[in-house]
């Protein structure tokens, strides 16, 4: 595997609906296009030797969308974890789903558990999907877990909180990319992104191409990370 430019790339995949609207199409067609683009981006990251890729697939706020759109997103997510599972496994990718299981239908939960179990020993790369995820909720859930485990106030520190996150072994992302011209976090990896670099582009997610990926990585390579020093 070639030396990776970074260890962990995280992406807020924004703009599927706007991409579809600009073409006079339905929101679901935009999500389908975004899904197809994600598969390509995953391969591009593998080609560049990036060992961790995390994407924001469905936030806890997305439940506010129409029942039809939410249902389609659930179907699409389940498809990604079933129809594409053999491909992920053959490529040596470990799949992780980060987020709450609340409100997710049983068939999707079974697909999550099956995908994680099948790929858990894969070591080429780790692909994490933040699904039914909110950064504040993750921190609150971590605090509750520590309290329920009997931790005292003196025992709750950064290391303890890290151990109670949804995916404790996930390294902090060096670079977070957001598409579609928005320049905010929207609750994505709030704990893990304390020292992340950010890269914003105007293109909608379905138009994110290999050239844009390399631009983001090149931009990161020119930055000097001080970590508060």
The beta strands (E) that lie in the chain are given as: 8-12, 52-59, 93-98, 125-133, 175-178, 197-200
Distance, in Å, from the CA atom of 16 to the CA atom of 20, rounded to the nearest integer, reads 6
Identify the CA nearest to 131 among candidates 103, 162, 170, 90.
103
> Can 62 be counted among the known catalytic residues?
yes
Catalytic residue among 62, 75, 114, 122: 62
191 touches 158 (CB < 8 A): no
> Can 202 be counted among the known catalytic residues?
no
Distance, in Å, from the CA atom of 114 to the CA atom of 127, rounded to the nearest integer, reads 15
Token reading at 126: 């780790």
Would you name the residues annotated as active-site residues? 14, 62
């Amino acid at each position: 595997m070639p030396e990776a430019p970074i260890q962990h790339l995280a992406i807020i995949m924004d703009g599927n609906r706007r991409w579809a609207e600009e073409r006079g199409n339905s929101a679901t067609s935009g999500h389908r296009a975004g899904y197809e683009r994600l598969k390509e981006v995953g391969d591009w990251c593998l080609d560049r030797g990036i060992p961790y890729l995390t994407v924001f697939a469905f936030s806890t706020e997305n439940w506010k969308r129409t029942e039809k759109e939410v249902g389609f997103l659930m179907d699409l997510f389940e498809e990604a974890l079933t129809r594409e599972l053999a491909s992920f496994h053959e490529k040596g990718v470990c799949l992780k789903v980060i987020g709450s299981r609340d409100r997710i239908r049983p068939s999707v939960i079974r697909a999550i558990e099956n995908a994680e179990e099948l790929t858990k020993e894969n070591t080429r790369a780790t692909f994490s999907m933040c699904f039914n995820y909110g950064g504040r909720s993750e921190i609150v859930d971590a605090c509750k877990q520590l309290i329920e485990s009997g931790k005292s106030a003196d025992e709750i520190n950064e290391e303890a909180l890290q151990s109670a996150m949804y995916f404790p072994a996930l390294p902090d992302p060096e670079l977070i990319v957001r598409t579609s011209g928005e320049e905010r976090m929207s609750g994505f990896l709030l704990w893990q992104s304390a020292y992340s670099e950010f890269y914003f582009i105007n293109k909608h997610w379905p138009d994110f191409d290999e050239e844009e990926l390399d631009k983001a990585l090149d931009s990161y390579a020119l930055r000097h990370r001080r970590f508060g020093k």
